[in-house]
Structure 1
Amino acid sequence: MSRVLITAGASGVGRAMAEAFDREGWQVWIADVDGVALNAAPTAWRKTELDVTDEAAVSALFSEVSASWGGLDALCANAGIAGPTAAIEEIKLQDWQACVAVNLEGAFLAAKYAAPMMKAAGTGAIVVTSSTAGQYGYPYRAPYAAAKWAVIGLTKTLAMELGPFGVRANVICPGAVEGPRMEGVLAREAAAKGMTRDQVYEGYASGTALGRFVEGRDVADMAVFLCSEKTRLVSGQVIAVDGFTVNPDPTV
C-alpha cells in the first residue's frame, strides 16, 4: 500500500487531498498546526500536530514516518497562509516574514527531510502547492505572491536534483478555492479596495475562462494523479487547477 504525507492536511485543500488519497487506497499521514482539526480527522489516518517552520519538529516527524512506515512514497507539501492584504508600503516586515516562512520555508523543510527516504528507495513523488499567484502578479498580495513564485523555482530544482534518483517533483497552482481561507482574503481585499465582498468574489470568478471558483476536490484529484504511475514521466511541471485564469485581478 502506498504511503503519503500531507502537510496542512486537516482542513481545506489538504483535507480534500487526504480524503482523495484515502479513497484510492493509500495510507495517509496528515500534519497540521490545528490540533482541533486534526482530532476531527478520521481515526484511520496517522496525525501529527506540526508547525512546518520548526525544523526540529519537521525532522522529528520524518523520523517518526521512517520508523513507523519504513519509507514514504509521496509528499504533498501543502501548508500555506494567505499573509497580509495591503499596499506594499503598509506591509510590516514581520508579516512578510511569517508568510514566506510558512509558504516557502515550510515546503523546503518538508522536501529536505522527505528526500533522503525517497532517494534511498529510488522512487517517490513530491507535490508542492503553489497558487496562480505564483504565475501572475497580485496587487495587495506581495508576500504571498513572492512566496508562491519561489516554491515553483524550488520544485523545479527538486525535479532536477532528485530525478536521477527516480524521484519526481511537480507544482499545483490552484486558483481561488472556495472555503474559509479565501473568504478571509475576499474580506481583506474588499476593505483594501473599497469594494464589497461580492464584488471581489465576482471579479475573481469572472477572471477565469470557466467563470467559477475551484473546489478542494479539484486540487486533490490532481495531487493523486501526479503521485500515481500514470504520471511516472511527469516531473518539473507547473499545473494550474484554476478554470484557466485569463485575468488574474479584474478588480484592479
Structure 2
Amino acid sequence: MTASALPSPAAPFGPDAVAGLRVLVTAGASGIGRAIADMLIGHGARVHICDIEERFLDDYRAAHGDAGVTRADVSKDEEVEHLFEDVRTHLGGLDVLVNNAGIAGPTGGVEAIDPAQWRRTIDICLTGQFLCTHHAVPLLKAAGGGSIINLSSAAGRFGYAYRTPYAAAKWGVIGFTQSLAKELGPSDIRVNAILPGIVEGPRMEGVIRDRAAEVGVTYEEMEHRYLENVSLRRMVTGQDVAAAVLFLVSPAGRNVSGQSMNVCGNVERL
C-alpha cells in the first residue's frame, strides 16, 4: 500500500485506517515492540518483525501464525541485510519502519562503565536504527512515501546520571530523527520519534533495581522517586506507545513529521 493510497484524512481512525500497510517492527516479539505489532495487526496492517530471543519469537509465531518473522540483531550489518531480504519476500515492499530495538545498557558511574558495554548500547540503540533505515528508505521511496518511527526515550531530553550510554544513544536518536525528517520530507516520508517515559515491565524493573543499588536505597524507594518525577504519578504501558504509533502511521498523522512525541505522563526530570 503506497502513501498515495492512504485513506482520506476525513476519516482518519476508521476500521480500515491502516489496513494493508506493510510494516517492519524491530524487536517486535516482546515488550513495546510486541504491543506495537499486535495493535497494527489488529487494525489490518501487514507486519513483519525481527527479534533475537527465540522464546519470544516462538510465542509471537503461535499468536500470529502467518506473520513474517526474522531472527536478527539490528547492530550487525549482515543480519540486517538478511532481515530486509525477508521483508521484501514477505511483504513485497515497505510503507512503515518502526525502529524499536534497544537495550537498557549498563548502570554505573562513567568511570566504572566497561567501554564494551558503552559500544554495545550505542550499537543497538542508535547504529541499529541507522542500519535499518539505510535499507528501508529505498523501499519507502519505491512505495511513493511512508513513515519512519524511531523509539527514543524521556532520557533523550534529560540528563540521566548513571545511565550515560543509554541517554547518549537516545539523544542521538532525536538528532537522527530531525535530520531524516528534513532529508526525506521531499520524498513524502515522515519521520518522528516517540519518547516513552517509565514503561512498566521487566526492563524497567531491572533499571530501578540497578539504580537503587547504585545509590544505596531500596527498590521501593527508588520506584517512588521515579514516579514522583512524573506529573501523572504512574507508569505508561506498551499499549500507550502502540496507540501513538497507530496515530502516526494513520492518515491522522499525515502532516506530522520531525517531531518528538512524549508518551510519558509528563516526566519532569530523571
For Structure 1 versus Structure 2, the TM-score category normalised by the shorter chain is: over 0.9
User: Which digits, 9 at most, give the CA deviation of each residue in 1:77-120, with x for residues without a partner?
Assistant: 00000000001111111110010000001111111110000012
Superposition pairs of residues 93-242 of structure 1, within 5 angstroms:
93-242=115-264
Shift of 1:160: 1.0
Runs of 4+ in 1 over 2 A off after TM superposition: none
- The CA distance in 2 between the partners of 1:61 and 1:50, in whole Å, is 7
Residue among 12, 31, 35 paired with 1:12: 31
Amino acid at match of 2:214: A
Report if the CA contact (8 A) 1:119-1:162 is conserved.
no
Shift of 1:203: 1.1
- The CA distance in 2 between the partners of 1:47 and 1:33, in whole Å, is 11
User: Which digits, 9 at most, give the CA deviation of each residue in 1:146-203, with x for residues without a partner?
Assistant: 0000011111111111111111110000001000011110110010010111111111
Amino acid at match of 2:208: L
User: Which digits, 9 at most, give the CA deviation of each residue in 1:196-246, with x for residues without a partner?
Assistant: 111111111110110111111000110111111111010000011000012
Report if the CA contact (8 A) 2:70-2:86 is conserved.
no
Shift of 1:44: 3.1
- The CA distance in 2 between the partners of 1:220 and 1:196, in whole Å, is 31
Q: Hey, what does 2:102 align to over in structure 1?
A: 80
* TM-score of the superposed pair, with normalisation by structure 2: 0.90
SS in 1 for 2:111: helix
- The CA distance in 1 between the partners of 2:119 and 2:36, in whole Å, is 27
- The CA distance in 2 between the partners of 1:142 and 1:102, in whole Å, is 15
- The CA distance in 1 between the partners of 2:200 and 2:90, in whole Å, is 35
Shift of 1:23: 1.2
- The CA distance in 1 between the partners of 2:259 and 2:118, in whole Å, is 27
Amino acid at match of 1:183: E
Shift of 1:67: 2.9
Q: Hey, what does 1:26 align to over in structure 2?
A: 45
Report if the CA contact (8 A) 2:106-2:113 is conserved.
yes
SS in 2 for 1:225: helix
Q: Hey, what does 2:11 align to over in structure 1?
A: none
Q: Hey, what does 1:2 align to over in structure 2?
A: 21
- The CA distance in 1 between the partners of 2:144 and 2:67, in whole Å, is 25
- The CA distance in 2 between the partners of 1:3 and 1:176, in whole Å, is 29
Superposition pairs of residues 14-93 of structure 1, within 5 angstroms:
14-41=33-60, 42=63, 43-93=65-115
- The CA distance in 1 between the partners of 2:199 and 2:94, in whole Å, is 28
* TM-score of the superposed pair, with normalisation by structure 1: 0.96
> 5+ unaligned residues in a row in structure 1: which ranges?
none
Shift of 1:69: 1.9
Report if the CA contact (8 A) 1:175-1:214 is conserved.
yes
Deviates more, 1:166-175 or 1:200-209: 200-209
